[in-house]
Amino acid sequence: VGREPDRIGRLDGVPAAARDQANRLLLGDRREQLLVRRLALLRPLPAGPLEASRRVRLAGVEAALRGLNRLSERLAAPGLPRAYLLGLDPRGDGRAVVALGNPDRSAAVLTYVPGMTSDLADAPDELGRAARVLQRCAALGPGEEAAAVLWLDYDAPDFLTEAAGPRQAEDAGPALHRFQEGLRAAHEGSPARQTVLGHSYGSLVVGAAARDHGLSADALVFVGSPGVGVDHATELRMRAGEVWSSTAPDDVIRLARPPDELARRALLAGTPLGPALAVLDPHAERLWFGADPSAPGFGGRRFPSAPHGHTGYWDPDNPALDGMARIVLGR
C-alpha cells in the first residue's frame, strides 16, 4: 500500500481497509493539486469572456476544496460508522467513493449513485444521504451490520443540456460494473445483500450499467427517476421482484418528457377530444429516458414517497426513507 498508493487506492476488488489506507496517504497530494489549480486561477484577466470563465472555474475549485476539507473531517471523526475512503480524484469536477461501515464485512451493502451536478464539492452532502439510509437500517434491524457507499466516480452532468443525453450515464457503466464486482470479490464470509440505488440522473447510470454490463446486485432502487434507459424491468437483468422505484407526487421529474412527446401533448390539449385521448394515451408512462420505473406497466415494485419534491426522499418524515432501508435489509 505504501509503495503504490495511487494504484491500490483505485483498484476494485482490493479490501476496503487497504484502499482506505492508500487513499488517506494520498489526501495531502489531492489537496495540493487543488491548491495549485486555485493559485493558477487567482491571477485576474482583463474584463471579458475569459475573465468570466476564470471566475467560474475559481469558484468551482474553491468549492471542491471545501468539499475535500469536509470529507477529511468525516474521515477523521471518531465513532461509528467508520468511514473508508475508496477513491478520490480532484481532476475536473472531482470524484469520490466513500463507504460508511466496512462493506467487506457487512451483511447488507448499499451503493448510492447521485445525479446531475454532483461533484467533489457536493460529496459530503451526498454522503449524508447515504448515512440517513444507514441510520434507518440500524433502527429497523438492530444488530444487523450494514454499510453504505457513496459512488461518485463518474462525470455527472453540470447542465440540463448535458443531462438531456445518456452519454455520461453510459460512459459510467463499465466503472460501476467493476466496482460492484469488486465489492462481491472482496467480501468476507457469506455473500452480502448488495443494493444499488440511483437518484435522478444517477438512476439512468444504474439502469444503463445493468442493461449493458450487468450489475452484481441483489436489488436495484430508483428514486426521482427520469427513466432508466429501458422500457421494462426485465431488461435490467435482475431477479424478479428486486427492481424498486419511488417518485414523489410533486417531483418535477414527472414532467421530464421527450420533446416530441411534449409537442404532441400540446397539440392534443388544443383539441376537443384532448382530455379523452390523454386517458387512452399509450405513451402516458414514458419519461425522458424510457418508461417511468414507478409506473405499473414497467414491471417493477413501487414504494411510497410523501410530497417532498425532487430531493426530499431522504427527509426523516418521508416514508421513502423507510422504503429504501427495508430494501437494503431485504425486508
9-54 confidence digits (pLDDT tens): 999 999 999 999 999 999 999 999 999 999 999 988 888 888 999 9
Residue range 192-207: average pLDDT?
98
Domain extent listing, the chain? 81-329
Q: How confident is the model at residue 286 (pLDDT cuts 50, 70, 90)?
A: confident
Whole-prediction pTM: 0.92
* CATH class for the region spanning 81-329: alpha beta
**What totals of helices (H) and strands (E) does the chain contain, helices first?**
11, 10
Q: How confident is the model at residue 114 (pLDDT cuts 50, 70, 90)?
A: very high
DSSP helix, strand, coil percent of the chain (3-state; round to 5): 45, 15, 40
pLDDT number for residue 187:
97
| DSSP three-state, residue 173 | helix
Residue range 112-140: average pLDDT?
97
pLDDT number for residue 3:
77
Q: Are 206 and 197 spatial neighbours (Cβ–Cβ below 8 Å)?
A: yes
- Name residue 20's amino acid: D
Look at the block and give the residue holding cell 430508483: 222
pLDDT number for residue 44:
85
Look at the block and give the residue holding cell 460508511: 100
Residue range 209-238: average pLDDT?
97
Indicate if the pLDDT at residue 269 is higher than 60.
Answer: no
pLDDT number for residue 1:
72
pLDDT number for residue 276:
47
